A and B are shown apart, each in its own frame.
Chain A
């Protein structure tokens, strides 16, 4: 292929600027195409009949009344889909977890409230719902298992409650504890909550017999992987099945994984030769889409007299609900692998028990495993500070990995990669963020107001994130006959601004206006492979692939233009979509003219490979006021510093952080999936599952820094999707401890008003 030439002539114009989003206009006009907006003539509606009990033997299903209802076409139970294998693992798929995968309909046992046991197909959504209520389930109730930290035992006839244990370690932990000046031990937990996007899930499958193509609309996040694996499950191939992403109303990790319903609509569209539409309702979403986060940790640190960490030893229990879904061991694996964070830990051991309970199965949620283990580690840091008698900032400073130690090999693996912090100046960002928060003045003012009787406190939390998971991304860039540019990617849009960011990168590399670029994502019929949008990977992986392909296309365009313009390519440049001669002397030609002269030639494809993740890092500073009478927490100040190496669009990065923060806040103070003693979910509406509103989310001061560009890609990019969420529980807990003047008071998230009020009464 063509030799890449240097891009000296075209000036960087869009990367690094907060240009307006290309995505906004159709969304503002009500012209979005979300899953529920997609309909086909003659479509049938699918409604899922779900288990009403947490654990039981499914002895029989009587659907005769439902089938007799006019408008009902069919009812499926397990026997109709018995030939379809369980849903496979996408990440961290340990072999021993395979027996715990979920079938698309329950066979003889139900294991959580919300588990699909049958599906109705009807002409109309209302009829389908009527029919679902008429299906009689004969279930012999069994006692549910709801505690993930108790003794192990049988989960049911064939399965144990503990399918696997994650073990990660380095250094000599036991010797470090023997030699320690002191040991700090804590028991901590994080509550069950999840992404809960505003759009519920949806899937619409259509079989086109004329072309022998099966399409599924409503795809998100990882359409290519899902295409391959749904196809495999139902006897199709990657060439006669397409997944098509429209607008996606929020992803956050949970949306877009393969769920039973996705497979059911595809299988049914093939059998009935009718478009099959399924749109989830909110109650279904809250009991059937992936939950996340629920872990209990017992952690201890060996320290020296100055509070330097000598070793960390953590044992934790990960409540994964009733099945292992596509993420398999991903969340506990990440929790264990990322727990050491930004600190120098000479010896480390984590033992993570993966446990099953009769609750909704779990998957990843924004900053998966890290929201949890950052809470644990930062609570530990505060406890060490209290033990040594220094403040939280000082204890962190003493333990931070220094800039000179980069790249820093953590001697741990996760997601098939070896963890090496690629770059970072943690101490510098701590200083900058404390300055942003006005730390000394804040402390002085808290002291003064505390004296007047207010319960006020401030806290700090630090963390290392991960991003840019490989192994590869491929992008094709075309200059169309009208002179516009199309960038065809293998990633997905979940609202984060991928179209704008990729257009900015391509625009600079090509020399065109970013607004003239159409970025295609989530269409498996447009590009053969794609890794999708997760793990804050898109800007890093797809961004670099976009740059590579665009540079290649620019070289090709100049070479072809040189022939027409009777000059050599080196004396040409593309400026604002026009091919001009260096120095602007003589004739020029537009990209449209060039594309028309060379039909089909102006295309380039390139691939970016990466075997290591890149590691952004951050600091959150929080100041709170606690109301002793109500147990309410008011966040008076919140500052976030986050180093992303290089921000393609600083405003989009800031808004990722701001939005991520709101979700972290929800998990810290409000959101929890609560179950009663029978395993009945109690958080089944937005009146029970409380998400932050504009009243609860305070303004946040955000500082995006570029002090540590990644050495692993030419633009220095690191992902920005999860740093707003990661340490929020930790920072708020630290501030509340300070407000109560009770070090270590907060041991569990969420910090509900009831718990906090009880703590206040201890004062």
Chain B
């Protein structure tokens, strides 16, 4: 067993003081050490995108990063999207356009789409499709996800 280091992860503006081994992935730390289980693990090799979170305004696969690398950075997860009872426009759009079925991949898609649209609000439809093709969904066939993200993009631009 390796030594654990004390680090602080800032998730949705809240500090979590935790002790982790250097090899601990960020997603494990977010879920197990910080109790934020909305971020899901789908493959642990950086392909499915279920674990996507936003780190310093960039969508990131949290299974491909070590927890210690995220110290001092601002981490946003799906739990931080809604404003109290009010859903984020992206969450609302997924509901309105039936962009989810089992909901397992949904947090990853939400964070991917929000992260990209905050950074690049005027992204073209085709580029947006490219972005969305970086995450996997097994239930919906994607069309409703694409509709939801495009609808939310229009609202986020306003």
Main secondary structure of the interface of B (DSSP, over half): loop
Instruction: From A37, A497, A659, give the contact of B37 (CB < 8 A).
Output: A37
Q: How far is the CA of A29 from the CA of B139 in the complex (A)?
A: 19
Residues of A within 8 A of B134 (CB): 693
A535-582 CB contacts (< 8 Å) to partner B:
none
CA of A111 to CA of B95, assembled, Å:
46
Contact B101 A497, beta carbon cutoff 8 Å = yes
Contact of A694 with B103 in the complex, beta carbons under 8 Å = no
Contact across chains for B23 and A28 when beta carbons are under 8 A apart = no
A486 within 8 A of B: no
Q: A281 in the interface, Cβ–Cβ < 8 Å?
A: yes
Q: With contacts A34-B40, A655-B144, A659-B140 known, is A20 near B48, CB below 8 A? A: no
Instruction: List, in ascending order, chain A residues with CB within 8 A of B43's CB.
Output: 282, 685-686
- Nearest chain B CB to A92 CB, angstrom units: 26
Q: Is B145 an interface residue (CB 8 A)?
A: yes
Q: Mark B77-89, 1 if CB is under 8 A from A, else 0.
A: 1110110000100
Among residues of B, the one whose C-beta sits closest to the C-beta of A196 is: B138
Closest B-chain residue to A724, C-beta based?
Answer: B141
For residue B18, CB closer than 8 A to chain A, the reply is: no
For A31, A200, A659, A660, the residue with the greatest tally of chain B CB atoms inside 10 Å of its CB is: A659
Which chain B residues border A200 with CB–CB below 8 Å? 41-42
Given the complex, which residues of B lie within 8 Å of A30, measured CB to CB? 36-39, 77-79, 81, 107
Q: Does B24 contact A (CB under 8 A)?
A: yes
Question: In the docked arrangement, what's the CA distance between A125 and B91, Å?
Answer: 32
Complex Cα distance A345/B94, Å? 46
A28 touches B102 (CB 8 A): no
Q: Which of A714-761 contact B (CB under 8 A)?
A: 724
Say which residue of B87, B104, B110, B145 sits within 8 Å of A199 (CB atoms): B104
Main secondary structure of the interface of A (DSSP, over half): loop
Q: In the assembled complex, which residues on chain B have CB atoms less than 8 Å from the CB atom of A281?
A: 44
Distance, CA A663 to CA B141, complexed state (A):
8
Q: What's the Cα separation between A652 and B110 when bound, in Å? A: 21
Contacts of A685 in B (CB 8 A): 43, 45, 47
Chain B residues with Cβ under 8 A from A658's Cβ? 140-141, 143-144
When the two chains form their complex, are residues B143 and A71 in contact, meaning their CB atoms are under 8 A apart? no
* 16-58 of chain B: CB within 8 A of chain A: 21, 23-24, 28, 31-32, 36-45, 47-48, 50
A442 to B135 CA separation, bound complex (whole angstroms): 33
A126 partner residues in chain B, CB cutoff 8 A:
21, 23-24
Contacts of B145 in A (CB 8 A): 694
The distance in angstroms between the C-alpha atoms of A685 and B32, with both chains bound, is 24
Given known contacts A29-B78, A695-B133, A21 and B36 CB-to-CB distance under 8 angstroms = no
Stretch at the interface among A243-251, A370-378, A422-430, A608-616: A243-251
Would you call A25 an interface residue if the criterion is a C-beta within 8 Å of the partner chain's C-beta atoms?
Answer: yes
Cβ B101 vs Cβ A36 within 8 A: no
Would A661 and B47 count as touching, CB distance under 8 A? no
A170 to chain B, nearest CB (A): 37
Cα separation A497 to B38 with both chains bound (whole Å): 20
Q: How far is the CA of A385 from the CA of B113 in the complex (A)?
A: 47
The answer to the question of B114 belonging to the interface, with a C-beta cut-off of 8 Å to chain A, is: no
Distance of A663 Cα from B96 Cα, bound (Å): 24
Judge whether A697 is part of the interface by a CB distance below 8 angstroms.
Answer: yes
- Which of A27, A199, A651, A662 counts the most B-chain CB atoms under 10 A from its CB? A27
B116 within 8 A of A: no
Contact, CB under 8 Å: A36 / B41: yes
**Chain A residues near B37 (CB-CB < 8 A):** 30, 34, 36-37
Judge whether B6 is part of the interface by a CB distance below 8 angstroms: no
State the total of A-B contacts with C-beta under 8 angstroms.
173
- Interchain CB contact under 8 A, B42 and A199: yes
Q: In the assembled complex, how far is the CB of residue A540 from the closest CB belonging to chain B, in whole angstroms?
A: 19
Q: Is A431 an interface residue when CB atoms closer than 8 A count as contact?
A: no
Evaluate contact between B130 and A198: CB separation under 8 angstroms: no
Contact A693 B45 (CB under 8 A): no
Q: Does B66 contact A (CB under 8 A)?
A: no
- Could you tell me which residues of chain A, from 293 to 345, have a CB within 8 Å of some CB in chain B? none
Contact A282 B44 (CB under 8 A): yes
Check B141–A36 contact: CB distance below 8 A: no
> Is there a chain A Cβ closer than 8 Å to B105's Cβ?
yes
In the complex, which residues of chain B have a beta carbon less than 8 angstroms from the beta carbon of A695? 129-130, 133
In the docked arrangement, what's the CA distance between A496 and B101, Å?
Answer: 6
A486 to chain B, nearest CB (A): 22
Known: A30-B37, A30-B39, A282-B45. A247 touches B103 (CB 8 A): yes
Q: Do the beta carbons of A199 and B102 come within 8 Å of each other?
A: yes
Point out the residues of chain B lying under 8 angstroms from A724, CB to CB: 141
Q: Say if the beta carbon of B75 comes within 8 Å of chain A.
A: no
Please indicate the chain B residues that have their CB under 8 angstroms from the CB of A25 in the complex: 87, 95
From the candidates B78, B81, B107, B139, name the one contacting A659 in the complex (CB within 8 A). Answer: B139
Kindly state whether residue B132 has any CB partner on chain A within 8 Å.
yes
Shortest distance in angstroms between A471's beta carbon and chain B's nearest beta carbon?
27
Could you tell me if B136 and A686 are in contact, using CB atoms closer than 8 angstroms? yes
Distance from B158 Cβ to chain A, minimum over Cβ atoms (Å): 21
Asked if A127 meets B1 with Cβ closer than 8 Å, knowing A23-B103, A198-B48, A249-B104, the reply is yes
* Alpha-carbon separation in the docked complex, A247 to B103 (Å): 8
Nearest-CB distance from A292 to chain B (Å)?
A: 14
**CB of B146 within 8 A of chain A?**
yes
Contact flag A27-B79 (CB < 8 Å), given A199-B40, A661-B141, A662-B142: no
Q: Does A495 contact B (CB under 8 A)?
A: yes
Determine whether A171 belongs to the interface, using a CB cutoff of 8 Å to chain B.
Answer: no
Is A29 in contact with B94, judged by CB distance below 8 angstroms? no
Q: How far is the CB of B32 from chain A (nearest CB, A)?
A: 8
B47 x A198 contact (CB < 8 A)? no
CB distance from A200 to the nearest CB of B (A): 8
B residues within 8 Å of A by Cβ?
Answer: 1, 21, 23-24, 28, 31-32, 36-45, 47-48, 50, 77-79, 81-82, 87, 91, 94-96, 98, 100-107, 110, 129-130, 132-146
**Which 4 A-B pairs have CB atoms at the shortest separation, nearest pair first?**
A30-B38, A495-B102, A249-B104, A27-B103
14 contacts between A and B (CB under 8 A): A20-B95, A24-B94, A28-B78, A30-B39, A39-B32, A197-B138, A199-B42, A249-B105, A282-B45, A659-B140, A659-B141, A660-B141, A691-B136, A695-B133
Which A residues have a C-beta under 8 Å from some C-beta of B? 20-21, 23-25, 27-32, 34, 36-37, 39, 69-71, 125-127, 195-200, 247-252, 281-282, 494-497, 651-652, 655, 658-663, 685-687, 691-695, 697, 699-700, 724
Other A-B contacts than A655-B141, A693-B135, 4 sampled, CB-CB below 8 A, are A28-B95, A198-B137, A495-B101, A691-B138
